[in-house]
Structure 1
């Protein structure tokens, strides 16, 4: 039977089950790494928005919101 569980991976690469009250059984498993959705959406939209946003007139229009250096 296939079972999906949530895990956390620490800085050393150790896998820790979340909310599982027993140890993982020995054996093999597949692990799908999830990235934060906000990052993926930002990367997908960046190219589409770059045509409009990366213009000198856009920088000038928003300059008043930038901190003074």
Structure 2
């Protein structure tokens, strides 16, 4: 998470909003203490990150072959 002072946030607010739109979370500090956070409206999740790749057909998954059944030990052994 990026930390910026109130003065810097005021000076670069538009650029900070662009970063937030890209998924970045930004902490606003006053005298070294966090007083506010800028965060995306919808938090990013793994599904969000991979959605575009999946939509483009970028994955070619194949199911693994079934393994042969294993013998199960009996209570008599």
TM range (shorter): under 0.3
Task: Point out the structure with the larger strand share.
Answer: 2
TM-score (norm 1): 0.28
TM-score (norm 2): 0.27
Q: Which has the higher contact order (CA 8 A, sep 6+)?
A: 2
Task: Point out the structure with the larger helix share.
Answer: 1
Asked which structure has the greater CA Rg, the reply is 2
